[in-house]
Amino acid sequence: MNTLILKLDIAGQPVGWISREEGALLYCRDQVAWEAGEQVVRLHGGESRLTGTRSFLDINTIVATRSHDKGLLSKGDVPCLTNKQLFSRDEYMCMYCGKQYGNSLLTRDHVMPLSRGGLDIWENVVTACRSCNQTKDNALLSEINMKLIAVPYAPNRAEGLILTNRRILADQMAFLKTRVGKGSRLRVAA
């Protein structure tokens, strides 16, 4: 399994996901300020000709670095809006009919349609099945008597990191969920 390492800044704020190899470089360059994970990933090196023993390096699954790196996110720490992350935020559920669907049967719906001045931002989009999206078309919800199951919101940095990694370890998930915003549906599932 190709485990990713959760990188934090020195203040404990999530920065992003890094590979095990990038984590090894942080250790070798003495850039790890502290560790927070309960698990370690062991990387194996070469074998000594003299002793026959194999070298290894244990890397914690959550490491804080000595820098105040802002990481991959910007614009107030809101992740980029993609369908993949939107569907994940809404748990692959149509926010109109409440049914869960596979990725290929879902669409991005603009609560306030683009044709009526709505924006393509987290707070104006929800996951919708094709049928509900076609029914709504470019109407306002009040015009066609449709209701939202949940209010759209912009995920924060921690939730964005959860949405981008499908192989999060238990200790990493526990760490990130303590930093998820109050309005997040991920907090409810915690």
Instruction: Give the pLDDT mean for 60-75.
Output: 71
The answer as to whether 190 is a domain residue is: no
The answer as to whether 21 is a domain residue is: yes
Q: 87 and 30, same structural domain? A: no
Q: 132 and 96, same structural domain? A: yes
Q: 69 and 12, same structural domain? A: yes
CATH number of the structural domain spanning residue 101: 1.10.30.50
- 129 has which bridge partners? 106
The answer as to whether 151 is a domain residue is: no
The answer as to whether 156 is a domain residue is: no
Answer yes or no: is pLDDT of 183 > 50: yes
pLDDT at 163: 87
For 18-63, write each residue's pLDDT tens digit. Answer: 999 999 999 999 999 999 989 999 999 888 888 889 899 999 999 9
Which one-letter amino acid corresponds to residue 155? Answer: P
Q: 97 and 42, same structural domain? A: no
The answer as to whether 20 is a domain residue is: yes
Q: 61 and 93, same structural domain? A: no
162 φψ region: left (φ > 0), alpha (ψ -120 to 50), beta (else): alpha
Q: 123 and 98, same structural domain? A: yes
Q: What angle do CA 68, 70, 74 make, to 5 degrees?
A: 160
Q: 64 and 14, same structural domain? A: yes
Task: Tell me the residue range of the domain where 108 lies.
Answer: 83-144
The whole-angstrom separation of Cα 187 and Cα 144 is 31
The answer as to whether 159 is a domain residue is: no
- 16 has which bridge partners? 7
For 106-147, write each residue's pLDDT tens digit. Answer: 999 999 999 999 999 999 999 999 999 999 999 999 999 899
User: Is residue 133 within a helix (H) or strand (E), and if so which, with residue range?
Assistant: helix 130-136
Q: 140 and 117, same structural domain? A: yes
pLDDT at 68: 60
Q: 91 and 60, same structural domain? A: no
Q: 137 and 173, same structural domain? A: no
Q: 66 and 21, same structural domain? A: yes
Number of structural domains the chain divides into: 2
The answer as to whether 153 is a domain residue is: no
For 82-101, write each residue's pLDDT tens digit. Answer: 999 999 999 999 999 999 99
Q: 87 and 67, same structural domain? A: no
Answer yes or no: is pLDDT of 182 > 60: yes
The answer as to whether 150 is a domain residue is: no
